[in-house]
Amino acid sequence: MEEKYKAIVNDNFEFSLNSKDLETLDVISDDIKSNIIYNNKSVEVETIEANFTKRNYTLSINGNRYQVKIENELDALISKMGLSLGNASVEDEINAPMPGLILEVNVSVGDNIKKGDFLCVLEAMKMENTLTAPRDGIIKSVKIAKGETVDKGKLLIEFQKND
């Protein structure tokens, strides 16, 4: 099965890509700068910022700056369903964004956590989804265990309230 991707540039332009499209690119790269050869044309690309977890990148291409977000098929499906991974509707609770199987629980009651810390891993539709902390805080309760199946909306982890 061929993987499909969407690249969203500057929140204005969308490009659909598949794994075959990516195979046609010739890339010569060091850690920061790359030259991509496509259709016999060389383009210099510099990575200014990269957030691999959220798949957000700031690139400089031929001197122009671009914000790029990469989405895969699961991201598109989650967005279409009106769900979001890793974001709680209430910052004091982490609820299951979809039904699935808990593969990992990385926190315990009383743990001090920072925004973005990995809390647990939920497997849904054969994809592993890492749920992250929406804010700094202390874990009040953990309502799940490794190997447990959960329904969409189930309370997974609770934070102590901020005063």
The string of pLDDT tens digits covering residues 48-71 is 888 877 788 888 887 888 898 888
Q: Could you tell me if 156 and 150 are in contact, meaning their C-beta atoms sit under 8 angstroms apart? A: yes
Higher pLDDT pick, 114 / 88: 114
Ranges of each domain in the chain: 4-73, 83-159
**Number of C-beta neighbours around residue 29 at 10 A:** 11
pLDDT of residue 87: 44
The per-residue pLDDT for range 98-114, each reduced to its tens digit, is 889 999 999 999 999 99
May I ask the CATH architecture of the domain 83-159?
A: Beta Barrel (2.40)
Query: Could you give the percent of the chain with pLDDT greater than 70?
Result: 84
Closest to 93 measured CA to CA, from 162, 155, 153: 155
Backbone angles phi, psi at 20, to 5 degrees: -65, -40
Q: Structure pTM?
A: 0.47
